[in-house]
Amino acid sequence: MIAGIGLDLAETVRYRFDTAELEQFARKIYTDEEMRYASRKRNQHEHFAGFFAAKEAVRKAFGFAIPWREIGVTHECGGKPAIALLGNAADLPRKHNVAKIHLTITHTTTTAAAFVVLEG
């Protein structure tokens, strides 16, 4: 049973940060794991946009705001993106009868998109 769905798009140009901007934005939005992952990539801004879109898609799927840094984008061994709910958000799946969170992210040079399905 589908318990929720969420979709979000992000323009990658909005995630081209200089060092100071990235540090400030990251403190509010990104987890340490997301920062490490993106910093190893050539087109970091595309990954930052994808992470932001994924976080927003999770919020839409649950139907309410969740603190940005309590939603983490991780990657399984094969590279498939996954969602990790952290801190107070870690209890949300149990409270909302969500057995699994499915995530897909795609990006181009101009746009990133994320789609989330909450499976009950």
Q: What is the pLDDT of residue 40?
A: 95
Q: Model confidence over 49-96: pLDDT tens digits?
A: 999 999 999 999 999 999 999 999 999 999 999 999 999 999 999 999
Q: Model confidence over 13-54: pLDDT tens digits?
A: 999 999 999 999 999 999 999 999 999 999 999 999 999 999
The CATH number of the domain covering residues in 2-119: 3.90.470.20
What pTM did the predictor assign? Answer: 0.96
Q: What is the pLDDT of residue 100?
A: 98
Catalytic residues: 60, 107
> What is the strand order of the sheet 100-107 is part of?
2-11, 111-119, 100-107
> Angle at the Cα of 107 (from 11 to 18), degrees rounded to 5?
55
Q: What is the pLDDT of residue 118?
A: 98
